[in-house]
A = this chain, B = another copy of it.
Amino acid sequence: MSRIELDKVSVVFPASRHTEAVTALDKVDLLLEAETFATVIGRSGCGKTTLLNLLAGFLAPTAGKVALDSQPIHGPGVERGVVFQKNALMPWLNVADNVALGLTFAGMPKQQRQDRVGTCLDWVGLSGFANHRVYELSGGMQQRVGIARALAADPKILLMDEPLGALDALTRESLQELILELWQKAGKLVLFITHSIEEALFLGTRLIVMTPRPGKIHKTYDLSFSKRFLAGESARSLKADPDFIALREEVLEVIHPRGGDHGEP
């Protein structure tokens, strides 16, 4: 189950005193099935976050339909977990209580809650840190807590908006691998936004390339690098694979054409 459908979805932010009206998404069609790992890439302002906000229920479309399992989406829901880039952990709670947040809201009894939190912390490799203050952790560990929190509520769909964008290269790679392993274990539908083409290629089974003004889906690719990684190939060799490098070139050409300006206003 869990199937996302976007049918001619447009999002227009009306003009305000200081800004003109922006068409953040223009008649976008999209269909995502369960167990897909969708990665979204595109230059700044092309509507990636807008797309995620629609799915999370943070935003209603100006036109068109957004549906989950044929049901229109109205507002946030526990079946759609979100991992944010930052600022989303509660510093007044320790690691375990942060992870338990969704369970607390649902009124789950304490013992059961502890077990579930233990499992989730295990998954992200933070078993020993249950009682730590979140602000004492490194950025990478904080992102793992965020992932564990989203997983604890057992959503059908996991939405991530540049979850690794603020991390250094090394930590980032280790978390990419972790996310893939968790995806394989849980088999959820994942939508993952990134600015890194390499990351998008490495993680996704489906790559969505977007272009701005107005925000549109330019092209989508079906990929298999992540499956090959999970089947045992090393990440390093995959990234050196000529297919990988060729695709990287191709996507780069779309979102950052040679001779054009360099991604800046």
Chain A positions near chain B (C-beta within 8 angstroms): 43-44, 138, 140-141, 165, 168-171, 174-175, 195-198, 236, 240, 245, 248-249, 252, 255-256, 262-265
Residue of B at shortest CB range from A166?
B166
CB contacts (< 8 Å) of A265 on chain B: these are 138
User: Is A264 a contact of B140 with CB atoms below 8 Å?
Assistant: yes
Task: Say how far A194's CB is from chain B's closest CB, in angstroms.
Answer: 9
Task: Say how far A131's CB is from chain B's closest CB, in angstroms.
Answer: 16
A44 to B265, CA, bound (A): 32
User: Is A249 a contact of B236 with CB atoms below 8 Å?
Assistant: yes
User: Is A195 a contact of B174 with CB atoms below 8 Å?
Assistant: no
Within 8 Å by CB of A170, from B141, B168, B249, B256, lies B256
CB contacts (< 8 Å) of A171 on chain B: these are 262-264
Residue of B at shortest CB range from A256?
B170
CB contacts (< 8 Å) of A43 on chain B: these are 170
Most-contacted residue by chain B among A175, A196, A255, A262 (CB, 10 A): A262
User: Is B195 a contact of A262 with CB atoms below 8 Å?
Assistant: no
Q: A138-B264, A141-B264 are in contact. List 5 more A-B contacts (CB 8 A).
A: A140-B262, A140-B263, A169-B198, A170-B256, A240-B240
User: Is B245 a contact of A168 with CB atoms below 8 Å?
Assistant: no
User: Is A168 a contact of B138 with CB atoms below 8 Å?
Assistant: no
Most-contacted residue by chain B among A170, A171, A256 (CB, 10 A): A170
Residue of B at shortest CB range from A258?
B234
User: Is B240 a contact of A245 with CB atoms below 8 Å?
Assistant: yes
A175 to B240, CA, bound (A): 23
A155 to B254, CA, bound (A): 39
User: Is B263 a contact of A174 with CB atoms below 8 Å?
Assistant: yes
CB contacts (< 8 Å) of A236 on chain B: these are 245, 248-249, 252
Residue of B at shortest CB range from A140?
B264
A236 to B170, CA, bound (A): 21
Sample 24 A-B pairs with CB under 8 A, ordered by A number: A43-B170, A138-B264, A140-B263, A141-B264, A168-B195, A168-B263, A169-B195, A169-B196, A169-B197, A169-B198, A170-B256, A170-B262, A170-B263, A171-B262, A171-B263, A171-B264, A174-B262, A174-B263, A175-B262, A236-B245, A236-B249, A236-B252, A240-B240, A240-B245
CB contacts (< 8 Å) of A170 on chain B: these are 43, 195, 252, 255-256, 262-263
CB contacts (< 8 Å) of A249 on chain B: these are 236
